[in-house]
Structure 1
């Protein structure tokens, strides 16, 4: 329609000029500049304007069609077109060197297509003192001390964080400046010039005062590799190389020796490559000319209008605080009263910390003890494949097996009522007498409960009064040095500490459409659906857990690990919409109880005393479904090690069911190792706790709702009307289904319900019937399947005849309080421990139960419901 009479836009001359300015092509700049000048319109005052377009006059269109190019186009539209005029001015500024291309492109996008050499990360290792330097030299690692790098000053990241709070601060405009305390690895990998001083900063993860996870050398070594890879991949278009500074301090020593993990990592750094990242290990002074140096010009004095003069408050901070480390007050908790003192102990506060913990309830503790005992004897019984022997009579079901019984977090015992006559002075004397950090922790916990953190103990240190909080800080540091991780986590929670980048970790989970819940289920969970500021998030977690500071800190820690995994291994989170951290903690404790064959209370203690690295390792095994074993590494510390996974019987008919991936199912055989009994019960518990569902589960449930009036789960209804309000792939619908499923407190029962729903989806998708009838009570299908299973067990004399299939009268059921085997929601544990497929599999029984329960199926003939 517009061929041969198209309008011409001077705007594109402006773009071409800018493009060649970025390319540095002076010939083309001149060529298009002259072309643009010819088509600009001169205003009355002589100003040059860029018109919107040039077009053929309406009355000469026919002539232009006949003879293209014969008609002179005229300027039409806006004049000037502000868009084009702005680009014209920018082009002039660039041509006259009033602007640099980098100022218009601060992210250096213009360079993204150019091939660049690999980033070489400069690594500097500094010894805190000559003693550490000598220990490193024994391993052929030659480093400088902090004193040797003068005039460069090396400081922790918290100093840089403080300096950045002045960025954007302006009292006249009432701008408060940067509030975040976090500084990323990209920021700490630069050198900073401040007048005549040069600063280098260690990464935030290495700040032992702020983050207790930095005291775990194995985790530090693991994170160092990740940090270097991140720098290599993200250090783009910045002048100079990144400089990663590490301080080898006395805090990392293990019995006066450099830990093996740190020595191994340092030797890899000397080789020039570490996990594919190019590095160069050297001295900080030698890297000064090749590093990226940033000027902290915003720290100039605004008060006197003198940018060259340092801000008075900053200068005072640097002079008074920058060189100070954590004030070591170990003498406060040093033994000062001899053993033969006449002071008499009239009380004991032992276990004060344990009373605050809510990971394992009393009922769950009893179950775990019985479960551990029964699992240790399981190989003594002859059972068919895929079956587990039943626990002994009287076993109590776990937390998630208590049916309608809700579990509330364990509340703090009112110690003040028990020990009202106890003198605080006696407690402080006991505190100074004790050489056991755990005992000191119990005493301080009691003092916090009864007196508060700010209670004046009457002690003096450097002329200042010492509070209970000061004593807690000392205990925290000593616990970090001795690697007592349970005590470290608890005291860190009491002191209100946080893990690094907590808000960022939660945001990383949320932006990947994963909701997060914190708190112990089922009655004390809080769902996080939107990013929160650091302080609000930390406050929410601590309020949710109440007095259980250990679990609150562990929750923060796990959130960071989950964010790490979702960034690097997103496949671990497939078909998981909600991450229930409290339930994950309980499952981790249960897995430790199963592996170590111990009670729930002992398992929770082992869990909280795992090092941060081993905690991360255990979480990865839980998410990936890998089998693991526990080994001791000395001094009571435990290590999580992988072991070869056993074989499972029968391939699951539902792709992706119970977390088994398709590539894993292809290699499944009928060979079952003797110690693999109980595997399907464990898988269902793990997947139920992780809220993992089969692939396309939610959209398939939508197809079921299309053919019935609703689905009833735990008294909660999913109505047919949802299909009219939402599409099958809509996240809102998936969350509605997930919310109903989360009302089921028992993970393994939840998974059987998911299997029942999958059976319904198979029927709906294959159009066996035109409609599924009215409201379907899904639990009835599961319980009917359990009934059919028990009938088959009687017929074949299976394992369930030892428990649920054994004839029992009503009086026995009332006296025992439930099933003999302790199955969740009155479902036999042997059904939970059955594979999904096969003639004795759960899917077969659920299919048969569905055929009997739904009125839409014919009753006059035999229905083939086997799943092959």
Structure 2
């Protein structure tokens, strides 16, 4: 009507919003009509479809490519047929995610508007690399970012990489199907020769057998993952394996269009690293790339004295700096069985490796400290630079090369120009970079961690891991307690995290990188299994390192420094497995034998006063049998003395029959003590549990909320180790407020002994149930804060008296008034008693609480 006769219709203003809404719908309809948009792009959740019309879950398409012909033939021998990268059709290109990041830098870039575009250091998300891209005349596939070996040394651990394969493929499968993206996902995985090696370069003959086993297990891990992909199922994800040309018609495809063709120039880079300053005159042996140091043979024989000086100075920096100011850490370093330390104190000191730190934090007498510093200074000064360069040019072994370069770093600094092979600009920093790459490729984790710490490298996953922990209300502290511990309570960017780690580990490059590994592992575990972190509000990385070192000291019978050095040589996968074992409350034990996938395992050992008494009875019966055996032996020896001249044949027969008996009987002074010490060590299971839980700040579920109720029961508050939690805290903070939990944890962290801390936690847990235990209102002391330690001390007295009446092993120490080495005067057998059960610690704490709080 309005078109036929203009102005015939009344005009009603509808406002700007309906007009813009209509215009937007019109523009979208035009884009759909002209096929610039698809319905799936406007409706990624597929809400336009009925429930019965939604497509079934799509599989993840996986393309396996071999880096070279050797890899292809090796996989073919294992019935896995793949293509090489060079065999791809010309219209396809496979590039690393780093090239994709450079391309995405162009997005949003505008010189007129002064816009720099997408930041280059921002991660490329996994779903972005799970599709094909039209760039010019090519279809480009990008490998996932977790396959980039330049991210960190963790990628070189094949078992860590295989775990990432499994988890990331499941993430793609789950995410892609939850949003119903048009097309199927495509993941390109490149297998390199280093991933299938079974003969890594090993200089130390004592480690060659173990390293060969590790390499074989890593190769089997790769082949096992590839066979799972070939079979169509891995890590909960349905996958299908094929060539990239087979999937081009079913894969999700996007376009990358730019005004100029400069992006296509990136195809020729292939994501290579920038050219290295060192020449490439002599390549690596065994085909390892980028070797520039001259290869000859060992210099240990020709330069024996000089190299020993170099290695000694280098080894002093190849262990973790332990903080001796904290008695808690001192306890953890002495977590081994005390029996052996009492029996052989001097032997252990003599056999201990002569490794100390140039920048040590140990507190010894000033005379020894000064003489040690003078010795270190003289060792650094007496070595001529020309001799060091000559040794470096002649050596062929990675360990020798790394020791010499590390010595140059300590003596002359990172910017010293070595002029190696008469080439200028070859600084010590460049050589350390090359040592880092070689150590990663040969999987020498000790040197990889040390060089990464010297270069202040930062793991790409660190920032995400910190965020994952913080959003789940898990705070982190880095550094050694009582020295330079610093808390991370809010998310930080990479620069801020680097500054924190530099401040906390300025003198300890090993812990600089080891702490990052632990945080990355904790971030991964808190995502996959958050139940491990229940009621743990603050994760103290320094204490966790000490716990791991003490467990290694127990397993390998090492001293503290040797255990810390051994911890640095553990692979990232084994380190994560050890951390998982400790967090899950299981005890770390040696694996059953060589060839297993892990070097360490977990062993669930049942203990408690029941098995405690059973073992005591067995020990008593063993003593009685030993006494009767010795009596029979004496009588038989007398009989033999009388019949000595009877015949040589009978004497020989008697000797052969009684030899085992004599050996068993005569081992009583020493060997039997060792066996008893081994049995006593088995008694330390619950003591170890309490030490580990105390170091991890682990408390029972709802502990802080229940403690809030407990504090309200006491008008003057409660005292823990001399620090008072006042009644006023319950007025200022709510029951479930995290500030109250942090306040309580700050008080508990003042307790130096972790096992004593755990018993205090058990007492506090039971104090919250006084009314339930007494069936009446408890009699609360007036006039002063109640000391929680009083309940624990009374429970210990009840425990000692009860076990003395039963005649248990407590009679050998506290039951006879002798006393033992338990922390804070508590019997060490009380620490080693299971919490639950008829004779558990809870039983004695309840009896003590009823004696103290029972109404008169």
User: TM-score when scaled to structure 2?
Assistant: 0.75
User: How much does 1:556 deviate?
Assistant: 1.5
- 1:669-719 Cα shifts (integer Å, max 9, x gaps): xxxx99852221121112212222112111111112112222333443322
The answer to whether residue 180 in structure 2 is matched with residue 170 in structure 1 is: no
Q: What is residue 792 of structure 2 aligned with on the other side?
A: 782
Unmatched 5+ residue regions in structure 2? 200-215, 277-288, 347-358, 364-368, 612-678
The answer to whether residue 292 in structure 2 is matched with residue 331 in structure 1 is: yes
| d(CA) in 1 for partners of 2:302, 2:343 | 52
| d(CA) in 1 for partners of 2:274, 2:231 | 33
| d(CA) in 2 for partners of 1:408, 1:737 | 33
Cα pair distance change 1:472/1:96, threshold 3 Å: closer
The answer to whether residue 274 in structure 2 is matched with residue 293 in structure 1 is: no
5 Å-filtered alignment, 1:421-432, equals 421-432=382-393
Cα pair distance change 1:521/1:343, threshold 3 Å: closer
The answer to whether residue 95 in structure 2 is matched with residue 142 in structure 1 is: no
5 Å-filtered alignment, 1:499-648, equals 499-631=459-591, 639-646=599-606, 648=608
Cα pair distance change 1:340/1:490, threshold 3 Å: closer
Match of 1:746 among 753, 771, 784: 753
Unmatched 5+ residue regions in structure 1? 1-33, 51-79, 301-306, 378-389, 396-406, 652-672, 809-818, 861-868
| d(CA) in 1 for partners of 2:469, 2:754 | 22
User: How much does 1:249 deviate?
Assistant: 1.0
**Residues 298 and 395, structure 2, Cα contact 8 Å, conserved in 1:** no
- 1:68-90 Cα shifts (integer Å, max 9, x gaps): xxxxxxxxxxxx3x555554444
| d(CA) in 2 for partners of 1:454, 1:494 | 13
Cα pair distance change 1:222/1:337, threshold 3 Å: closer
Q: What is residue 823 of structure 2 aligned with on the other side?
A: 824
- 1:611-662 Cα shifts (integer Å, max 9, x gaps): 22222221111111234432387699961234454354579xxxxxxxxxxx
**Residues 170 and 176, structure 1, Cα contact 8 Å, conserved in 2:** yes
5 Å-filtered alignment, 1:448-527, equals 448-459=409-420, 465-527=425-487
**Residues 392 and 820, structure 1, Cα contact 8 Å, conserved in 2:** no
| d(CA) in 2 for partners of 1:342, 1:524 | 40
Cα pair distance change 1:287/1:566, threshold 3 Å: same
| d(CA) in 2 for partners of 1:636, 1:326 | 40
The answer to whether residue 59 in structure 2 is matched with residue 120 in structure 1 is: yes
User: How much does 1:751 deviate?
Assistant: 0.5
Q: What is residue 768 of structure 1 aligned with on the other side?
A: 777
5 Å-filtered alignment, 1:220-239, equals 220-235=161-176, 236-239=179-182
User: How much does 1:483 deviate?
Assistant: 1.8
| d(CA) in 2 for partners of 1:244, 1:320 | 21
Match of 1:203 among 137, 144, 162: 144
User: How much does 1:206 deviate?
Assistant: 1.8
Match of 2:729 among 722, 739, 743: 722
May I ask how many residue pairs the two structures share in their alignment? 720
Match of 1:158 among 98, 101, 122: 98
Which stretch shifts more, 280-289 or 765-774?
A: 765-774
The answer to whether residue 188 in structure 2 is matched with residue 249 in structure 1 is: no
CA RMSD of aligned residues (A): 3.9
| d(CA) in 1 for partners of 2:712, 2:769 | 13
Which stretch shifts more, 568-577 or 320-329?
A: 320-329
5 Å-filtered alignment, 1:772-851, equals 773=782, 774-807=784-817, 820-821=820-821, 823-838=822-837, 840-850=839-849
| d(CA) in 1 for partners of 2:317, 2:390 | 23
Which stretch shifts more, 465-474 or 445-454?
A: 445-454
User: How much does 1:772 deviate?
Assistant: 5.2
**Residues 124 and 283, structure 1, Cα contact 8 Å, conserved in 2:** yes
| d(CA) in 2 for partners of 1:273, 1:137 | 20
Cα pair distance change 1:641/1:181, threshold 3 Å: same
5 Å-filtered alignment, 1:261-340, equals 261-297=221-257, 300=258, 307=259, 309-311=260-262, 319=268, 322-323=271-272, 328-332=289-293, 334-335=295-296
User: How much does 1:147 deviate?
Assistant: 0.8
**Residues 552 and 567, structure 2, Cα contact 8 Å, conserved in 1:** yes
User: How much does 1:213 deviate?
Assistant: 1.4
The answer to whether residue 744 in structure 2 is matched with residue 737 in structure 1 is: yes
| d(CA) in 2 for partners of 1:595, 1:163 | 51
User: How much does 1:430 deviate?
Assistant: 2.8
Cα pair distance change 1:410/1:124, threshold 3 Å: farther
| d(CA) in 2 for partners of 1:770, 1:84 | 73
**Residues 105 and 118, structure 2, Cα contact 8 Å, conserved in 1:** yes
Which stretch shifts more, 169-178 or 331-340?
A: 331-340
**Residues 332 and 550, structure 2, Cα contact 8 Å, conserved in 1:** yes
Cα pair distance change 1:423/1:44, threshold 3 Å: farther
Q: What is residue 687 of structure 2 aligned with on the other side?
A: 681
Cα pair distance change 1:369/1:182, threshold 3 Å: closer
The answer to whether residue 47 in structure 2 is matched with residue 110 in structure 1 is: yes
Cα pair distance change 1:96/1:177, threshold 3 Å: closer
- 1:317-340 Cα shifts (integer Å, max 9, x gaps): 655573558854423153389788
The answer to whether residue 295 in structure 2 is matched with residue 352 in structure 1 is: no
Which stretch shifts more, 232-241 or 335-344?
A: 335-344
Cα pair distance change 1:102/1:563, threshold 3 Å: farther
User: How much does 1:281 deviate?
Assistant: 0.9
Q: Name the SS for the 2:169 alignment partner.
A: helix
**Residues 40 and 181, structure 2, Cα contact 8 Å, conserved in 1:** no
User: How much does 1:729 deviate?
Assistant: 1.4
**Residues 366 and 600, structure 1, Cα contact 8 Å, conserved in 2:** no
Q: Name the SS for the 2:484 alignment partner.
A: coil
**Residues 759 and 847, structure 1, Cα contact 8 Å, conserved in 2:** yes
Cα pair distance change 1:98/1:120, threshold 3 Å: closer
| d(CA) in 1 for partners of 2:7, 2:447 | 79
Which stretch shifts more, 786-795 or 569-578?
A: 786-795
User: TM-score when scaled to structure 1?
Assistant: 0.74
Higher helix share: 2
Higher strand share: 1
User: How much does 1:496 deviate?
Assistant: 2.7
| d(CA) in 1 for partners of 2:253, 2:182 | 8
| d(CA) in 2 for partners of 1:172, 1:827 | 75
